[in-house]
Amino acid sequence: MKLEIKDYCVRCGMCEDIYPDLFHLNVPEDRVDIKFDEIPPELEEKALGAIADCAVGAIFKK
Ligand code: SF4
């Protein structure tokens, strides 16, 4: 599975706070980096949690 973050992400950093294995708030570049192109199977449950938890619904499964 792959993830994408939509442009309307508000850079709140919550995804990095809760799921640091998956996300990095890249402040200098003003974006959120996804740490994997293909999410490892052992992190898929966390990825689904992140999709559900993002307050503005900006994280999607590709
Ligand atoms: S939780 Fe959602 S809105 Fe906040 S930084 Fe992550 S993707 Fe963006």
Helix (H, G, I), strand (E, B) or coil at 4: strand
Give the percent of the chain with pLDDT over 70. 100
Query: Which residue has tokens 């850079």?
Result: 11
Report, as ranges of residue numbers, the positions in the chain whose pLDDT lies below 70: none
What is the value of pTM for the model shown? 0.95
CATH architecture of the domain formed by 3-61: 2-Layer Sandwich (3.30)
Q: How far is the CA of 41 from the centre of ligand 1 (A)?
A: 22
CA distance 62 to 60: 6
Q: Which residues line ligand 1 (CB under 6 A)?
A: 5, 9-15, 32, 54, 56, 58-59
Query: In the chain, where are the structural domains located?
Result: 3-61
* Spatial contact of 32 and 5, defined as CB atoms under 8 Å apart: yes
Q: How many C-beta atoms lie closer than 10 Å to residue 22's C-beta?
A: 22
Note the Cα 45 to chain centre separation in Å.
13
pLDDT of residue 21: 98
Q: Taking Cα atoms as reference points, which of 21, 7, 12 lies closest to residue 55? A: 12
